[in-house]
Structure 1
Amino acid sequence: MNFSGLNPDAPAFYAELRENNTKEWWTANKDRYERNVRAPFEAIGDELAGEFGPVKIFRPYRDVRFSADKSPYKLAIGMVTRSSPAHYLQLSEDGLMLGGGLYEATPAMLARFRAIVDDNRLVGDLEATLDEVGDAGFELMAGDALRTAPRGFSVDHPHIDLLRLKRLAVSRREPVAEWMWAPGALDDVRDRWRTVSIWCDWLSENLGDTVGD
Structure 2
Amino acid sequence: MTESTGPAPATGLDPDVFAFYAELEQNQDREWWLANKTRYDERVKAPVERLVDALGGEFGPLKIFRPYKDVRFSADKRPYKDHLGLVSADRSAGTYYLQVSQHGLMLAGGEYQPSREQLARFREICDDNRLVGDLEATLDEAAERGFAIMTADALATAPRGYRADHPKIHLLRLKRLAVAAEHDPADWMTGPELVDRVRAGWRVVGEWNTWLAENLPAPVEAAR
TM-score under structure 2 length normalisation: 0.91
8 Å contact from structure 1 (residues 101, 200) kept in 2 = yes
How far apart in 2 are the matches of 1:172 and 1:159? 22
Is 1:201 aligned to 2:210, yes or no?
Answer: yes
8 Å contact from structure 2 (residues 13, 48) kept in 1 = yes
Residue correspondence of structure 1 range 10-159 to structure 2 within 5 A: 10-84=17-91, 85-159=94-168
Q: 1:179 to 1:72 in 2, by over 3 A?
A: same
Query: 2:3 aligns to what?
Result: none
Is 1:186 aligned to 2:195, yes or no?
Answer: yes
Give, as a single letter, the amino acid of the residue that structure 2 aligns with 1:194.
R
> Which among 5, 9, 26 is matched to residue 16 of structure 2?
9
Cα RMSD of the aligned pairs, angstroms, is: 1.6
How far apart in 1 are the matches of 2:31 and 2:212? 44
How far apart in 1 are the matches of 2:84 and 2:183? 15
Q: 1:204 to 1:25 in 2, by over 3 A?
A: same
8 Å contact from structure 1 (residues 9, 36) kept in 2 = yes
Give, as a single letter, the amino acid of the residue that structure 1 aligns with 2:83.
A
Q: Percent identity?
A: 58
How far apart in 2 are the matches of 1:157 and 1:109? 20
Gaps of 5+ in 2: 1-8
Gaps of 5+ in 1: none
Q: 1:113 to 1:8 in 2, by over 3 A?
A: same
8 Å contact from structure 1 (residues 108, 210) kept in 2 = no
Deviations 1:54-90 (A, max 9, x none): 0111000011112222111001000111233301000
Give, as a single letter, the amino acid of the residue that structure 2 aligns with 1:12.
A
How far apart in 2 are the matches of 1:210 and 1:54? 18
How far apart in 2 are the matches of 1:41 and 1:201? 26
Give, as a single letter, the amino acid of the residue that structure 1 aligns with 2:60.
G
How far apart in 2 are the matches of 1:105 and 1:55? 20
Corresponding pairs, count: 213
Deviation at 1:210, TM superposition (A): 5.0
How far apart in 1 are the matches of 2:204 and 2:219? 22
Query: 1:164 aligns to what?
Result: 173
Deviations 1:147-190 (A, max 9, x none): 11111111111101101100000111010011111112101111
Q: Which runs of 4+ in 1 moved over 4 A?
A: none
